[in-house]
Amino acid sequence: MVNLKACGYLMTTKSHFYPTRIPLKFTGKEAWIVLDQLRTVDRKRLIRKLGDIDQKTINQVKSIIKEMMVD
């Protein structure tokens, strides 16, 4: 599991399928990790941990980021 507090993923509950967006269920709601809108955030600005995501979702995130970074 990964601590979402340390990640710069934008999560939203309103989205549509796109190759750089991963659907998931988070805190009982349908949500999306939006990798095409990554952010750099100073850890000092993060206030609280929102939750954890499972290893399968982490692997999807890593795979899509790798794909996005290849020229």
Q: Regarding predicted confidence, which is higher, 13 or 53?
A: 53
What is Dmax (Cα atoms) for the chain?
Answer: 37
Task: Please give the model's pTM, rounded to 2 decimal places.
Answer: 0.68
Distances (CA, A) of 13 to 10, 47, 71: 10, 20, 30
Structure tokens that stand for 42 in this block: 């100073």
> Which range among 4-8, 18-22, 35-39, 42-46 has the greatest average pLDDT?
18-22
Q: How far apart are CA 27 and CA 19, in angstroms?
A: 23
pLDDT single digits (tens) 32-63: 888 888 777 777 887 887 788 889 988 998 99
Mean pLDDT of 23-40: 83
Are the CB atoms for 32 and 13 separated by under 8 Å?
yes
